[in-house]
């Protein structure tokens, strides 16, 4: 029985139609947490469902094989188009993850969390400031006026898969938290006026949601231990102008978790069910996602990701790394040659032409609390050309599986 926890805070049961396999590891084992921007977004609503109806979509096969070979126990998928019935996720599991890809062991996840995204959700405001409020899905103009960029509702959404039980009653979502309600928010300013923080109209800011997708607190039960999976996918700090509206939103989307994990600092936070506040001291948590902020390169507001990496409640651990990231940066050159960050820590392979793209970046993170969790190993699934499974990654363009890499950490439960 697959269990899908919805935003309505109850557990929906859906029969998978496949033989049931006991997939839950023993609680004493090290748990592998992973995040993966799977690039399973499509340009038209329903297109992903069509691609996943059969088991022969080449991109989905490679994405599934990467997941199978990395074998995470708790996995966040970014850029997986949302549908309310969870049909796309069911098809991806049944037709791809639960089917061996080139001899890899099937990946069985009995527990799933899925909830709506702000991407492609009409705001009713002219957020793009093109003089028109676009409410008909299917265009860039519509995406520019949505609460989070998306050309149809649910594009670029996310989901959590787990081999461990999810505490559905304890789930919190923050899809509707308003940006203006964050104290000291970096609201964008129109440089052409003397008024502060006025890039968006007062009417728009009254409704403007902080999360470009959503923020989720999804408790996973590992034996008697509760680990809060804090999942998000902030907007890229680009595709804007001097006002830096996306860069500032990215900063505050990341700041949200920095405040949430600092006892007492997140008292202003409210969830979609009306609950208030953040985590208490001595709480186990793992922050995962494509956080769209490199510590050193590519235009994020200074300190956007550092406010998480350096948070007092966060464990200090080396960044995951790969051979492939280092080798690929050298092969591709271009913008990569100007970067100050370690290329072995890169998690995204973008256009290398300095005039057209930022090059390869560290954008995807698995960060964890210093209380109650101890790292045993970490890595990035990015083989170099001389390693096995390089065909799943390729040279970057065309994209074989995703333009991001799966990032993982093996964490053991402790009591201190």
The pLDDT averaged over each successive group of 10 residues in the chain (416 residues) is 38 32 58 98 98 98 98 98 97 98 98 98 97 96 98 98 97 98 97 96 97 98 96 96 96 98 96 98 97 91 96 98 97 95 97 92 98 98 97 93 98 93
Measure the N-to-C terminal CA separation of the chain; round to a whole number of Å.
35
Kindly report the backbone phi and psi dihedral angles of residue 270, in degrees, each rounded to the nearest multiple of 5, phi listed first: -130, 145
* Structure confidence at residue 396 (pLDDT): 87
- Map tokens 């609503």 to a residue: 45
CATH superfamily of 2-18+28-119+154-410: Endonuclease/exonuclease/phosphatase (3.60.10.10)
* Structure confidence at residue 27 (pLDDT): 54
Give residue-wise pLDDT tens across range 163-180: 999 999 999 999 999 999
Give residue-wise pLDDT tens across range 22-39: 355 655 579 999 999 999
* Structure confidence at residue 26 (pLDDT): 58
Residue 144 neighbours by CB distance under 10 Å: 18
* Structure confidence at residue 297 (pLDDT): 85
Q: Which residues are CB-contacts of 332 (< 8 A; sequence separation ≥ 6)?
A: 349, 352, 359, 360, 396
* Structure confidence at residue 18 (pLDDT): 30
- Residue ranges of domains in the chain: 2-18+28-119+154-410
Residue 11 CA to residue 82 CA, distance in Å, equals 18
Give residue-wise pLDDT tens across range 41-55: 999 999 999 999 999
* Structure confidence at residue 142 (pLDDT): 98
* Structure confidence at residue 11 (pLDDT): 34
Phi-psi region of 96 (alpha: psi -120 to 50; beta: other; left: phi over 0): alpha
Average pLDDT, the chain: 93
3-state SS string for 385-409: CCCCCHHHCCCCCCCCCCCECCEEE
* Structure confidence at residue 23 (pLDDT): 52
DSSP letters, 313-358, are TBPP-PPP--HHHHHHHHHH-GGGGG--S-GGG--B-----TTT--
* Structure confidence at residue 299 (pLDDT): 81
Q: For residue 184, with 0-12 CB atoms within 10 Å meaning exposed, 13-18 middle and 19 or more buried, which class applies?
A: exposed
Residue 250 CA to residue 255 CA, distance in Å, equals 8
* Structure confidence at residue 5 (pLDDT): 44
pTM: 0.94
């Amino acid at each position: 029985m697959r269990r899908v926890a919805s935003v309505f805070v109850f557990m929906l049961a859906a029969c998978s139609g496949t033989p049931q396999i006991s997939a839950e590891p023993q609680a004493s084992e090290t748990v592998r947490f992973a995040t993966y921007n799977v690039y399973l977004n499509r340009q038209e609503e329903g297109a992903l469902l069509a691609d996943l109806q059969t088991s022969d979509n080449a991109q989905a096969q490679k994405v599934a094989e990467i997941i199978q070979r990395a074998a995470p126990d708790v996995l966040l998928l970014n850029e997986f188009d949302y549908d309310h019935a969870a049909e796309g996720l069911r098809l991806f599991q049944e037709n791809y993850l639960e089917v061996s890809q080139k001899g890899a062991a099937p990946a069985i996840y009995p527990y799933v969390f899925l909830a709506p995204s702000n991407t492609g959700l009409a705001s009713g405001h002219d957020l793009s400031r093109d003089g028109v409020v676009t409410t008909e899905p299917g265009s860039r103009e519509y995406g520019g006026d949505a609460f989070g960029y998306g050309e149809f509702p649910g594009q670029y959404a996310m989901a959590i898969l787990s081999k461990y039980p999810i505490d559905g009653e304890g789930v919190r979502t923050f899809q509707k938290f308003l940006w203006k309600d964050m104290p000291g928010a970096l609201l964008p300013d129109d440089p052409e006026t003397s008024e502060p923080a006025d890039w968006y109209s007062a009417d728009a800011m009254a409704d403007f949601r902080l999360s470009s997708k959503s923020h989720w607190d999804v408790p996973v039960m590992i034996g008697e231990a509760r680990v809060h999976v804090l999942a998000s996918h902030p907007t890229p700090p680009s595709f804007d102008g001097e006002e830096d509206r996306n860069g500032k939103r990215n900063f505050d989307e990341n700041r949200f978790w920095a405040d949430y994990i600092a006892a007492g600092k997140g008292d202003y936070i409210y969830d979609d069910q009306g609950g208030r506040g953040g985590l208490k001291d001595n709480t186990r948590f793992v922050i995962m996602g494509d956080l769209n902020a490199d510590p050193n390169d590519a235009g994020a507001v200074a300190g956007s990701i550092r406010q998480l990496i350096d948070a007092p409640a966060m464990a200090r651990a080396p960044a995951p790394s790969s051979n492939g990231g280092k080798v690929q940066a050298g092969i591709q050159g271009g913008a990569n040659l100007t970067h100050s960050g370690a290329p072995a820590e890169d998690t995204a392979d973008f256009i290398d032409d300095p005039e057209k793209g930022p090059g390869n970046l560290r954008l995807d993170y698995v960060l964890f609390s210093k209380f109650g969790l101890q790292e045993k190993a970490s890595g990035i699934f990015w083989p170099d050309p001389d390693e096995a499974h390089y065909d799943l990654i390729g040279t970057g363009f065309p994209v074989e599986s995703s333009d991001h890499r799966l990032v993982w950490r093996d964490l053991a439960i402790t009591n201190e």
